[in-house]
Structure 1
Amino acid sequence: MSFKPMEQNAVHIGIIGMGPKGLYGFERLLANLHAIECDTIHIHLFNISKLFGSGWIYDPSQPDFLKMNYPNKFISLKPHNNPPEICPIKSFSEWQADKNQTAIEDENFNIAARAEVGKYLFHYFKKLCFCSSNNLKIHKHVTEVKSIVKFEDHYLLQTLDPHFKSPHFSSLLITTGHSPSITSKINSIKDKKDTIPFIYPVDRKLNSIKPNSVVACKGLGLTAIDAILALTEGRGGTFYTDNKGKMSFHTSGKEPLKIYPFSISGNPIIPRNYSQTVSQQSFFFKKFVENNTSSSKLLDFETDLLPIIKQDMVCEYYFQTFKKYGESLNLKQQFNHIELDIANFHLKHPTVQEFKPSDLLYPDFDSNFLNLQLQVYWKGWLNEIQTSNSSLVAAATVWKNISDDFNILYSNNRLTSSSKATFLNHYFSLFNRISYGPPMSNIKKMLAIAEQGILDFSFAKNPQIEESGKISKLTRNEKSEIFHVMIDARIPRGYNKNDSVLFTKNQAKSIFTFNRTASKYNYANTLICNSNGNPIDTYGNMDINITLYGTPTEGFLFDNDSLSRKRNDTASLWANNVAELIQQNKQTPIYEK
């Protein structure tokens, strides 16, 4: 790699997207460049808003009722590898304890407002900028990068800022998250006046919904809960908890008359309680991965992997169930022997209901009583997650336990292309529903709003959407309701190949390629890269000077948690490589004007 700057002896490095992942890459880059003595290095940070470090998910100005779905102890900007950070960095729990004058142990299990996390991230973004070396010049660009133009061994960027003149970039880290998908989704339905394609920021995107209107809400997951809270608590409604722990909702009069959430499956998300955790006991899937790491055989998710995942679910469920009856289940034996032990257990305890993984994955609701049954389902889970060593919670935790092992297979291209598409289109959201749900406080709020009659699940499972002139209706089982506004309360996970977004723009097509089996609206999940995040170009060549990090890598790397520093960390290697190449070029100058 040779560096081609705009001016003599200048190097330009770019980070496109400055949410949490961009901040992590920025921190690693500063740490790797800190000890290098060389001429000025220009670091360009591109973000579509002024929310550097936090992004829109953790916008510090968003309402406090928008909560994290896991406790503070899992949030930290501290790096997990060398070199050390350039300034002291506290974990989020430590930062909150200092700020609130509380004990770190108490903060560890708190569920924070996402705005608080955003303040934490922005605080350290400013601190990193302040502590950076004198030879590093940091440029913050509030604009969207529309395309990348490659010239031999450098790149020019085209942005929406008419005053931006691109230098010659030597290396790029791309951490755009869901932004291309959001742009694509907004563009796809921008002509529909009564449709809101994306709900964030909620106080701005949902303020056009009038009081006493009827709202159809596409989605039953975390984003839908945010939308429902924004239309109720966000409009002055208040929650009260009595001395028995029952929560009620008092309206302000500014809420919608009805909110009808729905999805294709109609299955609601399962809440979590981090004060009641169940340790992993069953390791059939882990052993399967360990025994097949050296194999090159392609695997089918449904026929090769899903049965083993279900084995772990059965084992986790019955391990806890046996304990409740003073018995023990040996999970070190073969699964067919475990099945015999379970059968004998049921002979001894005929009143104990048999567990089948399908009951957890696909709960059965009477379609004529969806509104009542979904509320009963949530109430049952609230009781379950507050039970010590719950059998159902143990089974539901399996996907979380095995996700690292699954990523080994996923990132080594061990799934057939059709099987990977099946997993992404169906099972990814299904497992997230049972393993990565909201805190139980949010489900209590949903039930309180439902008891007021505002939240209604009557159309929860795959209703027909009819639009005739100015009238829009939801229809299911011969029951229909007119609605005034449709909210798409889902995080977009794909973009149309014809949309003008970063990865599909004409000049970038030689740099980025996509899986040919991808569906029309699934390209974000099929961007081709290697395990280091380097994209593969149209000629099959790896571009070592560009690194993808986070969501753009999901065609190859699985489950990119926006706040995880360890999960699929392609940024650390990128930062290290940039520093090494600058060091090499300093010793043997190959700068060109």
Structure 2
Amino acid sequence: LSSKEAYGKWLLTFIENDLFEAQRGNVNSPIKSASDVLRDLRDLIRDTIDFKGLTEDSHRWIDSVFIPIMNRIAVGPPKERLEEMLALAECGILHLDLGPAPNVAVDTESNQIVLQSTVWPEYKRRADILVHAKISMHSPKDDGTPLWKQLLSKGFTRLYYNGKYHPGGIDVTKTMQVISQDGSVHGNMWALGIPTEGNKFYTFIVPRPGVNSTAIVDAGKAVNQLFALMAENRRALSYAE
């Protein structure tokens, strides 16, 4: 952090080195091979965490300590995004010289976003648009959409809690059926993905080839139940006729 130029050069070099290791793959790169161990263990970790597999204290520790470390090591954008980032930086479109954790504020007079370096306070950059490029952990209680407000206020669903800890998401059964406020299970309502994050672990990852990804498994559970319910209704109608 001797200067913003040195920081920018270091960061670009770091990205280039990481991209080089990614291009070598997890067979030829010891670094990517080691980090991929965590990716391969995610399903085992998920089996431990899902559906109150942890105590309340352990769940809090996993979310606050373990997951941020794991994300640093084994989670991130595909290498194509890094290549695009480097290309934008080389063209002078993308600037990476503000240093870590810059302050972000709005200049009400110019209606622009002002980014100020916390390392070199005299250094600022301005922007017209701020993109919140982050997947936030979802909790329906903080969601302002009418759908979630109605589902919660009318008792069609309830927030998921492990003890007194609400890691996010709503309560569902192991077959992904939505649980109502009074604890009853909806026979024809399922929830998948981020709305269940909390009761389940890492629902937002992209399915990978050759892996029994949780997104596909959970969707399969819901679809199989749906087809069974449709078949049962057809049988009931045929008997009635």
Pick the TM interval, shorter chain. 0.7 to 0.9
* Structure 2 CA distance for aligned equivalents of residues 526 and 419 of structure 1: 18
Instruction: Write the letter of the residue equivalent to 1:568.
Output: D
| Gap runs ≥5 in structure 2 | 208-212
When structure 1 is superposed on structure 2, of 411-420 and 561-570 the one drifting more is 561-570
1:374 corresponds to which of 4, 8, 11: 11
Tell me the residue number matched to 2:177: 534
1:559 corresponds to which of 202, 208, 217: 202
8 Å CA contact 1:384, 1:393 repeated in 2: yes
Tell me the residue number matched to 1:153: none
Write out aligned runs for 1:429-508 (5 A).
Answer: 430-459=69-98, 461-470=100-109, 472-475=113-116, 476-477=118-119, 478-485=121-128, 486-495=130-139, 497=141, 499-505=144-150
Q: Is residue 2:159 matched to residue 1:514?
A: yes
8 Å CA contact 1:528, 1:556 repeated in 2: yes
* Structure 1 CA distance for aligned equivalents of residues 152 and 199 of structure 2: 23
8 Å CA contact 1:513, 1:538 repeated in 2: yes
Write out aligned runs for 1:10-25 (5 A).
Answer: none
Superposition deviation, residue 584 in structure 1: 4.7
Superposition deviation, residue 393 in structure 1: 0.8
The alpha-carbon distance between structure 1 residues 408 and 450, as it changes in their structure 2 partners (threshold 3 A), is: same
Tell me the residue number matched to 1:408: 47
8 Å CA contact 2:176, 2:191 repeated in 1: yes
The alpha-carbon distance between structure 1 residues 427 and 502, as it changes in their structure 2 partners (threshold 3 A), is: farther
The alpha-carbon distance between structure 1 residues 456 and 514, as it changes in their structure 2 partners (threshold 3 A), is: same
Deviations 1:447-502 (A, max 9, x none): 23223333222235222223353254222122431423222122343256262342
Deviations 1:367-400 (A, max 9, x none): 9643222111111112223445221111110221
Write out aligned runs for 1:36-435 (5 A).
Answer: 369-387=6-24, 389-424=28-63, 427-428=66-67, 430-435=69-74
8 Å CA contact 1:370, 1:460 repeated in 2: yes
Instruction: Write the letter of the residue equivalent to 1:539.
Output: D
Tell me the residue number matched to 1:571: 222
Superposition deviation, residue 514 in structure 1: 0.8
2:237 corresponds to which of 586, 590, 593: 586
| Gap runs ≥5 in structure 1 | 1-364
* Structure 1 CA distance for aligned equivalents of residues 13 and 156 of structure 2: 51
The alpha-carbon distance between structure 1 residues 460 and 423, as it changes in their structure 2 partners (threshold 3 A), is: farther
* Structure 1 CA distance for aligned equivalents of residues 217 and 195 of structure 2: 14
Superposition deviation, residue 433 in structure 1: 4.9
* Structure 1 CA distance for aligned equivalents of residues 198 and 73 of structure 2: 23
Instruction: Write the letter of the residue equivalent to 1:545.
Output: N
Higher helix share: 2
Give SS of 2:82's match.
helix
8 Å CA contact 1:550, 1:562 repeated in 2: no
Superposition deviation, residue 588 in structure 1: 4.9
Superposition deviation, residue 401 in structure 1: 0.5
Query: Structure with the greater relative contact order (CA < 8 A, sep ≥ 6): 1 or 2?
Result: 1
Instruction: Write the letter of the residue equivalent to 2:42.
Output: S
Instruction: Write the letter of the residue equivalent to 2:195.
Output: P
8 Å CA contact 1:532, 1:573 repeated in 2: no
* Structure 1 CA distance for aligned equivalents of residues 238 and 90 of structure 2: 71
Superposition deviation, residue 438 in structure 1: 3.6
Q: TM-score, normalised by structure 1?
A: 0.33
Give SS of 1:447's match.
helix
Which structure has the greater CA radius of gyration? 1
8 Å CA contact 1:534, 1:546 repeated in 2: yes
8 Å CA contact 1:529, 1:535 repeated in 2: yes
Superposition deviation, residue 553 in structure 1: 2.2
Q: TM-score, normalised by structure 2?
A: 0.74
* Structure 1 CA distance for aligned equivalents of residues 225 and 49 of structure 2: 21
